[in-house]
Structure 1
Amino acid sequence: MTDSHQMLLISFTDRAAGRSAYEEALGLPGLRQAALVERSAEGLLDVPESHVQGAGRATAGGGLVGGLLGLLGGPMGVFLGTAAGAALGGAAENRQALEGGAGLIVLSSRVDEGASLLVVELHESSPRPGDDLAERHGGTLERMPAKEFAARVRSAEKAAGEPRPPS
């Protein structure tokens, strides 16, 4: 199998198994991000765990580049350049976080009361590690190309933003 950008959606009827699988998922090869979505017995939705590979890099990198460019303007230039670069990097990370949150909202309907869903975005060169993870923790795995998942999220966002016709 060639390297492919995938979303792994692993459902668990036991929330403890989902948490255990989340910890193990952080070591999957090609991991980009992971999140655990749980629904309590009362129906409340929670995202107790989430991880984004390289979080903070855009903010730190932007600040560093801005600071280096600011060297041309002296001490005040370094200060202003660092602040502007960090702000731009932070904005990029914030946009990514909002997109990830929309994806979790779309998936929330898949989580039954008292259950959990592990969502993993990764580049897979082999399906075996993801398959083994789901099997070891008693989860049900659905694999979806990341492009297809992104299209579903955009479609849901568009539908949510459209006014509803009068009933």
Structure 2
Amino acid sequence: MSENHHVLLLDFTDGADCRAAFDEAEHLPGLRQSAIVERAADGTLDFPASQVRGAGVTTVGAGVAGGIAGLLGGPIGVLLGFVAGTALGNAAETWRDHEGGAGLIVLGEEVEDGHSMLVLDMVESSPELADELAARHGTTLRRLPADQLAARVKAARRAAEEA
């Protein structure tokens, strides 16, 4: 079966149920990122929990690659290569986190007052596991193609810049 990159949205009326599903979702294969978006009864938006699978791997990997590349320059070359690689890897991770945060803000518009939403960024090879998660927690699941959310974020940025 082919893999599909989706953002999965699970709506909850109880924040404790949402947190339990968040903890359980951490073990889903293909999960890239997850977060909880909550809207209080007064309309205030909050992001109480989030996680990124493999956080730091890009930074460390780029640092090691830079250090190896710097071997030609001796000990100082290794140090400079490691520092440069780490800086580039960290910049890539910061950009990914920034994009993820913008996506959560856009999705926050869909959270009703007094509700919580579990947001899962996943590459699914099969929909059954996420469907079962939703069923176990008594909620519905909506799948949004990841590129569709990216387009919504881009449109929101454009609108904000024009305002």
Residue number in structure 2 paired with 1:68: 68
Shift of 1:120: 0.5
> 3-state DSSP class of the match of 2:11?
strand
Q: How many residues were matched structurally? A: 163
Equivalent position amino acid for 2:28 in 1: L
Residue number in structure 2 paired with 1:12: 12
Equivalent position amino acid for 2:34 in 1: A
Q: What are the within-5 Å matches in structure 2 for residues 63-142 of structure 1? A: 63-142=63-142
Distance 1:29 1:77 in 2: 39
Shift of 1:113: 2.8
Distance 1:62 1:126 in 2: 32
Unaligned runs of 5+ in 2: none
> 3-state DSSP class of the match of 2:35?
strand
Distance 2:73 2:107 in 1: 49
Distance 2:150 2:160 in 1: 15
TM-score by length of 1: 0.91
Distance 1:77 1:126 in 2: 46
Contact 1:17–1:138, Cα closer than 8 Å, also in 2: no
Distance 1:98 1:123 in 2: 20
> 3-state DSSP class of the match of 2:27?
coil
> 3-state DSSP class of the match of 1:55?
coil
Report the aligned-residue RMSD: 1.3
Distance 2:62 2:3 in 1: 30
Shift of 1:118: 0.5
Distance 1:80 1:30 in 2: 35
Unaligned runs of 5+ in 1: none
> 3-state DSSP class of the match of 1:131?
helix
> 3-state DSSP class of the match of 1:144?
strand
Query: Deviations along 1:139-161, whole A, 9 cap, x unmatched?
Result: 22111111111111111111111
Distance 1:122 1:14 in 2: 23
Residue number in structure 1 paired with 2:161: 161
Residue number in structure 2 paired with 1:55: 55
Residue number in structure 1 paired with 2:30: 30
Query: Deviations along 1:33-57, whole A, 9 cap, x unmatched?
Result: 1111112334332212111121111
Equivalent position amino acid for 2:160 in 1: A
> 3-state DSSP class of the match of 2:126?
coil
